[in-house]
Chains A and B, each alone.
Chain A
Amino acid sequence: MITYLDVLKGIHTGKICPEREFDLRVFAPKLKEALKACDIRYDPNDPIPADDGLADDLWKAAKDFYCDVGTYCLDTERVVKFGENEIAQTLKTAPREFTFGEGKERKTLSQRKPEDQTPPWCWLGAVGAAVSSEANLLSLVRGYAEIPVIDSLTSPALTSVDGARIVGGSPLEIYGAIRAVGLARQALIRAGKPGLPIMNCISTASSAIATIAASQPQFGLRPSDGWLCGTIAEMKVDYGVLSKGAYLLSWGANVCSETGPVLGGYAGGPEGTALVNTAYNILGTVIQKASYQLAFPIHYKFGCTTDRKILWGISLSSQAITRNSRLPLFVVGIAASGPMTEMVLYETAASVITAVASGAHIEGAGVCKNTHVDHFTPMEPGFAAEVAYAATGINRTFANELVRTLLSRYEEKLNNPPLGKKYQECYNVETGKPSEEYLRLYSKIKTELEDLGLEFKY
C-alpha cells in the first residue's frame, strides 16, 4: 500500500520534468491516447447517460491514464508515479467509511451508487463564497443550519477583519481564518447544532499556514470537520497542499481532495474533462489519503458547472467513480446566475438532479459563479436539498429528461446570466427570513418541477 510518506519521498525522487513539458508532452498526449482507447463520445442529447458499461470503461481508462501520467509537484518539478499494482492495491484497501461531526450531528459518510435509494449527504451553504460583513456571515450560517436535512456546513469566507481587508498569504489571512471559523461555529451553536461538521475548512484560508493556524481547537474546529486540500489543474500538487495533508493526517482529520478540471483548459473537451475528473478521484486516494473528493469540473468561459457539456462530464465521471471507487464523491453545483432569479433555481435543480442520479453526494449551492460578494442566500442550498431528496432513487433516464427540460429553460443565458440580488436585498439579515418575493419565486419553480414529475418529499 502506498503511504503518505511514500508520496512525500516521491516528490523528491520522481523524474524531473519542467512544468510546460509535463503539460504538453506528458499530460496532453497521454490524455488523447486514453480517450482514443476508451472511445467515449459526448452526446448533447443525453446529459445524463445511462450506460453502466460506458461508466466502467471510463473508470478503467482513467486508472490507466493516472498510472501513466502520475502527479506533478510544482515545487520540486518532479513527477511522482507509482506502479499499477501498488495503485490497484491502494485503491482496493482504502477505507470505505468516514465519520464527521460531533454529538447529535455525528454521521458516517460512504459512497452512494447511481440511482441509489439512499439520499445524498447534503453539504449545504455558501460554497466558500465571500461575505462583506460578520453580521451577514452569522445570519447566513444560522439560515443554513435551519435547513432540515443539512448534514454539514459549507461556510462563507470573510473579506475583512475589523475593517482590514484580508490579503491571501499575508498575516491578515491568519486573522481572517481564525475569525471566520469562530463565527461559523458560534452561529451553529446559536442554531442548536453545535456538532454539525464544517466541511470546507477553512474557507477564508488559502495558504497552509493559515489553515494550520486556524485549526487549533480553541478557535472552533475539530478533526471531525472536513478540510479542503485543493489540487492544482491539472494533476498537480505543491508543498502547500501536501503540507496541509501532512498536518491533517497526523491529526486524524478528514482531508478533502478538492478537484476542478477546466473544460476548455488542459483537460480539453467534455470527454477529457470527464476522464480527468475520474482520474482525480484516484489521485485523492493514492496521493492525498482523502476522506472525500469534492469535484467541480468548470466551464472555462461561463465559470459555472451547469453547462450541458459539463453536466454530461459530471454525470459520466460520477457514475464511473461511484460504481468503482471507495472514496466518496461530492459534486458541487455552481450556478452562473444569482439569487432571486428563476435561472438560479433551474440551474441548481439541473446540477443537483445530475449529481444525485449519478451517485454523488452534493455540496450546494454555489451561485453567481461563486465570485460576487454577498450574492447568495440560504434559499438556494435549501432548494438544492429539497431537489436532492426528491431526486433520490429516480432512474437516469427520467433524470435525463428532467435535466434536458431544465437546460432548455436557461442554457441560452449562460453567456450573460442575471446576477440577481444580494443577501441583504432578498432576506432580512436580522431575522434570517426571506422576502415574500423570493418565496413566491421559489414556490413557482417548485411547482414547475412537480409538473415535470419530480415528487418532493417535503
Chain B
Amino acid sequence: MKLVTQEAIDGGIDPIEIIERGLTSGIAEVGAKFERMEAYLTDMMMSADAMKAGMSIVLTKVPRAKIRAKGAVVLGTVKGDIHEIGKNILSALMTAAGVDVLDVGSDVPASVFAQKAEEAGAIIIGASALMTTTLPGQKDIVDYLNSTGKRGKHSLLVGGGPTTPQWAEEIGADAYSETATEGVKLALRELERRRKEAN
C-alpha cells in the first residue's frame, strides 16, 4: 500500500484526494462488505493496516490541519477481561468509518484508558466487558475520570455481552451499544456533537 500511495503522489494526485477517494473510500467498502458478511474481521484488520501504511506516506505531504479528521477514540477491554473479538470488530469498523482508533488491548486498568485518551486527545473512551464479573471495570473508568477531574473531557461508550442500557445509566456512562455497528453510529454522532460544541 505504501508503494501504491507513493505512486499516486508521484503521479501528481492531490494528497487529500488520495485520502478521501482512495484510502478512506477503500476501507469503507470493506466495512460495507463486513456488514453484508461478505468480508470478515481479518479482512477488516488487514485493510486497516493497509490504510495506516498509506496514510503514513500521505501525511508527510499534507498538513494535519487540512485533513477533515472525525476524531480519536480509545478502545479496550476492561481489567480482568481478556475477550477481544467484539472490541476488535468495533475497532476495525470505526477505522473503516474514518475514526482515528487507538486500541489499548485487553485486561486494561482504568488508569491506562484515561492516560491513553489524554495522550491521544481522544474524545471517546470505548470500554468492553464480556463477563458479568468484569462489568465493574467500566464503572472504574467513570470513577477514575471523576477522581482526576477529567470526566468532562471524555465520553464513555460501554458495550459487551452482559452490558445493558440500565447498567450504562447506573454507572454514568454516556452511551451503550449492543452491537459494533451501533457503536460506530453512536461514536460518529458523539464526535460530531463534540466537534460542533467545540466550534
Docked CA distance A28–B40 (Å): 10
Contact of B79 (CB < 8 Å), options: A157, A165, A169, A370: A169
The answer on a CB contact under 8 Å between B41 and A266 is yes
Given contacts A167-B136, A300-B85, contact A266 B42 (CB under 8 A): yes
Q: Which residues of B are found within 8 Å of A371, using beta-carbon distances?
A: 132, 161-162
User: What is the 8 Å Cβ interface bit string for chain B, positions 20-61, against chain A (1 contact, 0 not)?
Assistant: 000000000000001001001110011001000000000000
Contact of A264 (CB < 8 Å), options: B84, B89, B132, B161: B89
Pairs A–B under 8 Å by Cβ, sample size 10: A23-B45, A157-B133, A204-B133, A238-B82, A262-B85, A264-B41, A265-B85, A300-B41, A301-B181, A371-B161
The answer on a CB contact under 8 Å between A173 and B133 is yes
Docked CA distance A310–B86 (Å): 17
Q: Which residues of A are found within 8 Å of B174, using beta-carbon distances?
A: none
Find the A residue at minimum CB distance from B182. Answer: A301
The answer on a CB contact under 8 Å between A176 and B37 is no
Which A residues from 21 to 71 make CB contacts under 8 A with B? 23-24, 27-28
Docked CA distance A384–B179 (Å): 28
A residues with a Cβ closer than 8 A to B are: 20, 23-24, 27-28, 74, 130, 157, 159, 165-170, 173, 176, 204, 206-207, 232-233, 238, 240, 262, 264-269, 272, 300-301, 303, 369-373
The answer on a CB contact under 8 Å between B80 and A170 is yes
The answer on a CB contact under 8 Å between A167 and B80 is yes
Docked CA distance A303–B41 (Å): 16
The dominant DSSP class at the B interface is helix
B residues with a Cβ closer than 8 A to A are: 34, 37, 40-42, 45-46, 49, 79-82, 84-86, 88-89, 131-134, 136-137, 161-162, 164, 179-181
Q: Which residues of A are found within 8 Å of B45, using beta-carbon distances?
A: 20, 23-24
The answer on a CB contact under 8 Å between A264 and B40 is yes
The answer on a CB contact under 8 Å between A168 and B133 is yes
Given A24-B46, A265-B89, 13 other A-B contacts at CB below 8 A?
A28-B42, A130-B162, A159-B133, A168-B133, A168-B134, A169-B134, A176-B133, A264-B40, A264-B89, A267-B40, A300-B180, A372-B162, A373-B162
Q: Which residues of B are found within 8 Å of A262, using beta-carbon distances?
A: 41, 85
Q: Which residues of A are found within 8 Å of B136, using beta-carbon distances?
A: 165, 167
Q: Which residues of B are found within 8 Å of A268, using beta-carbon distances?
A: 40-42
Interface centre among A168, A169, A204, A272 (most CB of B within 10 A): A168
Docked CA distance A265–B131 (Å): 19
The minimal Cβ–Cβ distance linking B120 to chain A, given in whole angstroms, is 19
The answer on a CB contact under 8 Å between A266 and B85 is yes
Interface centre among B42, B80, B162 (most CB of A within 10 A): B42
Contact of A269 (CB < 8 Å), options: B40, B46, B84: B40
Q: Which residues of A are found within 8 Å of B132, using beta-carbon distances?
A: 130, 157, 159, 166, 371, 373
Q: Which residues of A are found within 8 Å of B80, using beta-carbon distances?
A: 167-170, 206-207
Q: Which residues of B are found within 8 Å of A240, using beta-carbon distances?
A: 82
